[in-house]
């Protein structure tokens, strides 16, 4: 009898434990953003392009409030002359939202010298929840970790960047974050470019996704990264590449935007899908030194597509800098034009020399900077 009661009690406790796990890893309910549509807007004669070179620190990613404070501070710097508005495009770097997975993990990260050690520590601290997702979805530990925190990551990312776009009334390319289609389906309107399927969105595949907001804080399009780097592949973060067929321009009153997340801007197949875009946006995070060879190679992305080949009127390339554990990011953010006459005194990277069409470039590869340019609306270039 005693043994029977013990078995029943154990079963009840396990049931409660799994109920708690499921509740704590469940995705949020459908967001109001899902049904927020963009109002009609007129095209300005001039536009402002702003690249945010953000310096990532562990302090930034302590909690949602520290993250919001960091993003708001950068927007305030960009608006130092009260010049932001509906004629402005602000672009943040790649991975700015992906790193929100670090919220609340200070104890687990303490003493970790390498990224893989840190991830193992976070998994151990949250073993029941992460293990549940690993078994349920049949995925790796890193993927299970991202699945476990989809709800909290999405809440932080979407609320902060929607708020910033709305407060400053700007178009905002919110770098990128790591989400499944099931998570995106709770926020992204069905009609916008890149929207996940309405029926049975995928709950297992985590993508590197860039989200674009309009001046009312509404979502106007998303883009999943198609070509991943080694760090993002199955032996690293275990993200899943996006579908090339889902790549398309996003319409705005500033011109059509073509978002190519970092490596995608080097790939002709991706750029070909963005034919018809006026402004190429390349949110980037380069996890390595900004050596001369790297700078020369980087010229084969946004600058080659815009300044050299003229496939786009303008390009904006915001880059992440800073250090998270042993992961160091370097690079120089830039704004580029296809019309060399708009950049009579062009800039260049630290070791490449000047390049025609380089309107503005960050002065160094490891600091935090706001890169701005005021340019004619793309439709005015043929006038």
Q: Which residue has the higher pLDDT, 29 or 372?
A: 372
Asked whether the beta carbons of 180 and 241 are under 8 A apart, the reply is: no
Tokens of 133: 């997702």
- C-alpha span between 326 and 256 (Å, rounded): 38
CA 63, 234, 149 angle in degrees (round to 5)? Answer: 25
The fraction of the chain above a pLDDT of 90, given in percent, is: 80
Average pLDDT, the chain: 91
Q: Tens of pLDDT along 118-146?
A: 888 889 989 999 999 999 999 999 999 99
In this prediction the pTM is 0.92
Asked whether the beta carbons of 218 and 32 are under 8 A apart, the reply is: no
Does the domain at 56-377 match CATH 3.60.110.10? Answer given as: yes
- C-alpha span between 339 and 263 (Å, rounded): 24
Whether the per-residue pLDDT at 292 is higher than 50: the answer is yes
The predicted pLDDT at position 297 comes to 97
SS3 80: coil
Closest Cα partner for 64 from 143, 184, 149?
Answer: 149
Give the residue ranges of DSSP H helices in 138-276: 141-148, 150-168, 181-184, 268-273
Tell me the pLDDT band of 15, cut-offs 50, 70 and 90: very low
The predicted pLDDT at position 338 comes to 97
Tell me the β-bridge partners of 148.
none
DSSP 235-258: TTT---PPPGGG---B--TT--EE
What are the residue boundaries of the structural domains of the chain, listed by start?
A: 56-377
- What Rg do the C-alpha atoms of the chain give, in angstroms? 22
Asked whether the beta carbons of 92 and 318 are under 8 A apart, the reply is: yes
Tell me the pLDDT band of 382, cut-offs 50, 70 and 90: confident
CA 272, 211, 367 angle in degrees (round to 5)? Answer: 95
Q: Which residue has the higher pLDDT, 209 or 120?
A: 209
């Amino acid at each position: 009898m005693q043994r029977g009661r013990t078995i029943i009690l154990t079963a009840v406790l396990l049931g409660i434990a799994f109920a708690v796990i499921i509740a704590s890893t469940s995705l949020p309910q459908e967001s109001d953003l899902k049904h927020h549509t963009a109002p009609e807007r007129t095209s300005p004669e001039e536009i402002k392009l702003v690249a945010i070179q953000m310096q990532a620190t562990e302090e930034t990613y302590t909690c949602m409030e520290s993250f919001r404070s960091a993003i708001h501070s950068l927007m305030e710097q960009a608006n130092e002359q009260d010049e932001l508005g509906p004629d402005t495009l602000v672009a943040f770097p790649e991975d700015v939202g992906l790193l929100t997975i670090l919220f609340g993990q200070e104890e687990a990260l303490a003493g970790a010298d390498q990224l893989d050690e840190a991830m193992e520590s976070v998994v151990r601290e949250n073993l029941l929840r992460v293990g549940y997702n690993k078994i349920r979805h049949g995925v790796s530990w890193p993927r299970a970790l991202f699945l476990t925190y989809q709800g909290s990551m999405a809440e932080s990312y979407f609320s902060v960047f929607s708020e910033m776009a709305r407060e400053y009334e700007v178009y905002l390319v919110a770098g990128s974050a790591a989400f499944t289609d099931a998570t995106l389906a709770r926020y992204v309107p069905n009609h916008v470019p890149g929207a996940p399927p309405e029926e049975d969105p995928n709950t297992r595949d985590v993508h590197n996704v860039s989200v674009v907001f309009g001046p009312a804080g509404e979502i106007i399009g998303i883009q999943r990264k198609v070509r991943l780097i080694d760090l993002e592949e199955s032996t690293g973060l275990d993200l899943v590449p996006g579908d090339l067929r889902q790549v398309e321009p996003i319409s705005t009153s500033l011109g059509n935007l073509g978002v190519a997340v970092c490596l995608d801007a080097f790939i002709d197949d991706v750029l070909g899908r963005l034919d018809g875009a006026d402004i190429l946006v390349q949110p980037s995070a380069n996890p390595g030194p900004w050596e001369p060879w790297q700078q020369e190679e980087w010229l084969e992305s946004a600058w080659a597509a815009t300044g050299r080949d003229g496939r786009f009127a303008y390009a904006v390339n915001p880059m992440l800098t800073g250090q998270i554990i042993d992961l160091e990011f370097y690079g120089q953010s830039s704004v580029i034009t296809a019309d060399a006459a708009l950049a009579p005194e062009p800039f260049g990277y630290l070791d490449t020399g000047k390049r025609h069409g380089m309107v503005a470039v960050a002065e160094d590869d490891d600091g935090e900077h706001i890169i701005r340019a005021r340019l004619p609306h793309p439709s005015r270039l043929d006038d």
